[in-house]
């Protein structure tokens, strides 16, 4: 959230910060450049993901060469996107600061770091890189009459619309009850163009009771698609507020998605099924690469913030691939921590319990440790369970929990294979 926004809506303590307006002297020109990217973290994270991923692509499965070629071209483009992102963020940071789009790091309040203007909404920079990559990629994969082309472009329209609405939210500070429904507008291009099936497979153990193997849900299926988009975007946005958490969770989930896609492609013989999962890879690889570039600046201590532009964009991209790849039930298990956070948040979101502007832990400037509050978030829940800890440790704990949820999903898939569908 930008200073323009915060000046009108934040708690009294934050209101003591000097009020910035768009009419005031342009900021940015005198601000020091942002800290260099934290390449070490990115290298370690990429290593964990790339080893199993490329092992599956090159050795474990026999993937047909055409499909493999498309995936690798997309990976190459994504790698280029990573480097462009790393170069672009410091430049974009200067521009957003000049327009007073910055935030103060709430979990550093009372220390010198808490007074630094941190550039906000850098999601806009990586969103643009993502869009360029995703648009260019069509040249390498699709033929002009491909059915996929329609849905692919509808998916891009939804993601781009979400990027716009996220940026609007960052700049204008839309009331949060309104911003909850923004993603349902952004999902419209996809819902209108969707020509795929609207049936669900009834789990084998339930077939005797339902009496059907396939159930056509019709318009209810489209409603479900819209709700999934609303859930994925908002659940990323409200599991936030710690340096590196917004992007970190996206990196973990996206890694799980592409590994899941490769496993499905490798195990299947149905060309349409493979295409659906390849489609997901084509959008998630660029998301992962650009997010890693962003994380190199957003990791603790953050030199940039991502804004709702990023949380909405990332959530929408994952929702879109879950819908068009037909693996939304798997996606929801990857999102287990977000589901938990959402359930914990319900009393505050529903207005049953008072809800402060930022439901963050309490920061002690002396010890630099965080203490959990009674606000219903997973962040506070972890602090209450595991005791006081630093912001960085807490973020790592939460990301490991996210990775465990994804791993559990793979185990579940392994044990339920054949029994469930
Ligand atoms: C949503 C959540 C809110 C949560 C907030 C955290 C609801 C209804 N809303 O609000 O509970 O507290 O996300 O972002 O559940 N910031 C930091 N450190 C970080 C990241 C962000 O201090 O690592 C602060 C900065 O001041 C930044 C601001 O959070 O400017 C961004 O807030 P914003 O994303 O606009 O909040 P919401 O998405 O509206
Ligand atoms: Mg946010």
Q: Please provide the DSSP assignment of 103-141 as one string.
A: E--GGGTTSGGGGS-EE--THHHHHHHHHHHHHHHHHHH
Residues 6+ apart with CB under 8 A from 97: 27, 28, 31, 117, 119
Q: How far apart are CA 206 and CA 302, in angstroms?
A: 49
Rounded to whole angstroms, the Cα distance separating 323 from 229 reads 9
Ligand nearest the Cα of residue 169 is 1
Q: What spacing in Å lies between the alpha carbon of 237 and ligand 2's midpoint? A: 5
pLDDT band at 421 (very low <50, low <70, confident <90, very high): low
β partners of residue 118? 103
- Residue among 245, 250, 304 at smallest CA distance from 35: 304
pLDDT of residue 143: 54
Mean pLDDT across the stretch 248-275? Answer: 92
Ligand 1 site, residue 359, Cβ cutoff 6 A: yes
What is the distance between the terminal CA atoms of the chain, rounded to a whole angstrom? Answer: 44
Report the interhelical angle of 245-267 vs 39-55 (nearest 10°).
10
Which residues line ion ligand 2, judged by CB < 5 Å?
A: 237, 308
Q: How wide is the angle at C-alpha 222 spanned by C-alphas 221 and 226, nearest 5°?
A: 120
Using DSSP's 3-state secondary structure scheme, residue 119 falls into strand
**Most confident of the following: 112-126, 131-145, 184-198:** 112-126
**Ligand 1, atom 3: nearest CA belongs to which residue?**
358
pLDDT-based confidence at residue 144 (cuts at 50, 70, 90): low
Structure tokens, 162: 């979400």
Can you tell me which residue has the tokens 């648009």?
A: 135
Residue with the bigger pLDDT between 355 and 108: it is 108
Query: Which of 112, 167, 161 has the alpha carbon at shortest distance from 1?
Result: 167
Q: Which amino acid residue places its CA nearest to atom 7 of ligand 1?
A: 238
> For the chain, how many residues are written?
421
369, containing H or E segment: strand 369-371
- Residue ranges of alpha helices (H) inside 299-421 are 307-324, 328-334, 336-349, 378-386, 391-416
Q: Which residue has the higher pLDDT, 175 or 81?
A: 81
Instruction: Determine the distance separating the centroid of ligand 2 and the alpha carbon of 79, expressed in angstroms.
Output: 27
Please tell me the pTM assigned to this model. Answer: 0.90
What does the pLDDT read at residue 12?
Answer: 41
**171, 241, 243: residue to mutate for ligand 1 pocket, most atoms within 8 A of CB:** 241
What's the pLDDT band for 139 if we cut at 50, 70, 90? confident
pLDDT of 140 above 90: no
CA distance 88 to 294: 10
pLDDT tens-place string over residues 274-323: 888 999 999 999 999 999 999 999 999 999 999 999 999 999 999 999 99
Residue 121 CA to ligand 2 center (angstroms) comes to 9
What CA–CA distance (Å, rounded) separates 26 from 97?
8
Going by CA atoms, what residue is nearest to atom 32 of ligand 1? 1
Q: What is the pLDDT of residue 414?
A: 80
């Amino acid at each position: 959230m930008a200073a323009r926004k915060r000046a009108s809506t934040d708690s009294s303590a934050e209101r003591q910060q000097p009020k910035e307006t768009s009419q005031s002297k342009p900021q940015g020109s005198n601000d020091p450049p942002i800290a260099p990217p934290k390449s070490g973290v990115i290298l370690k994270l990429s290593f964990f993901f790339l080893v199993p991923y490329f092992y599956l692509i090159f050795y474990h499965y026999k993937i047909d060469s055409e499909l493999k070629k498309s995936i690798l071209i997309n990976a190459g483009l994504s790698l280029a996107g990573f480097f462009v992102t790393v170069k672009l963020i410091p430049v974009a940071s200067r521009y957003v600061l000049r327009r007073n789009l910055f935030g103060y790091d709430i979990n550093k309040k009372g220390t010198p770091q808490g007074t630094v203007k941190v550039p906000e909404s850098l999601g806009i920079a990586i969103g643009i890189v993502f869009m360029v990559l995703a648009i260019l990629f069509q040249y390498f994969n699709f033929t002009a009459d491909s059915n996929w082309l329609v849905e692919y472009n509808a998916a891009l329209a939804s993601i781009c619309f979400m990027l716009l609405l996220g940026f609007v939210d960052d700049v204008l500070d839309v009331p949060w009850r309104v911003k909850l429904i923004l993603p349902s507008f952004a999902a419209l291009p996809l819902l209108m163009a969707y020509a795929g099936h609207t049936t669900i497979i009834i789990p084998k153990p339930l077939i005797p009771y339902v009496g059907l193997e396939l159930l056509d849900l019709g318009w209810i299926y489209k409603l479900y698609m819209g709700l999934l988009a609303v859930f994925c975007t908002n659940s990323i946005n409200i599991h936030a507020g710690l340096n590196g958490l917004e992007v970190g969770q996206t990196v973990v989930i996206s890694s799980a998605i592409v590994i899941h896609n490769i496993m499905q492609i490798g195990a299947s013989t149905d060309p349409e099924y493979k295409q659906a999962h390849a489609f997901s890879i084509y959008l998630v690889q660029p998301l992962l690469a650009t997010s890693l570039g962003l994380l190199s600046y957003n990791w603790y201590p953050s030199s940039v913030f991502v804004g709702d532009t990023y949380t909405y964009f990332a959530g929408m991209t994952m929702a879109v691939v879950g819908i068009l790849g037909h693996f939304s039930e798997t996606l929801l298990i990857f999102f287990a921590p977000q589901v938990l956070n959402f359930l914990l948040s319900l009393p505050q979101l529903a207005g049953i319990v008072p809800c402060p502007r930022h439901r963050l832990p309490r920061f002690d400037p002396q010890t630099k440790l965080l203490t959990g509050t009674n606000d219903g978030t997973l962040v506070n829940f972890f602090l209450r369970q595991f005791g006081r800890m630093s912001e960085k440790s807490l973020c790592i704990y939460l990301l490991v929990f996210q990775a465990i949820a994804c791993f559990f999903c793979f185990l579940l898939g392994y044990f339920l294979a054949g029994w469930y569908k």
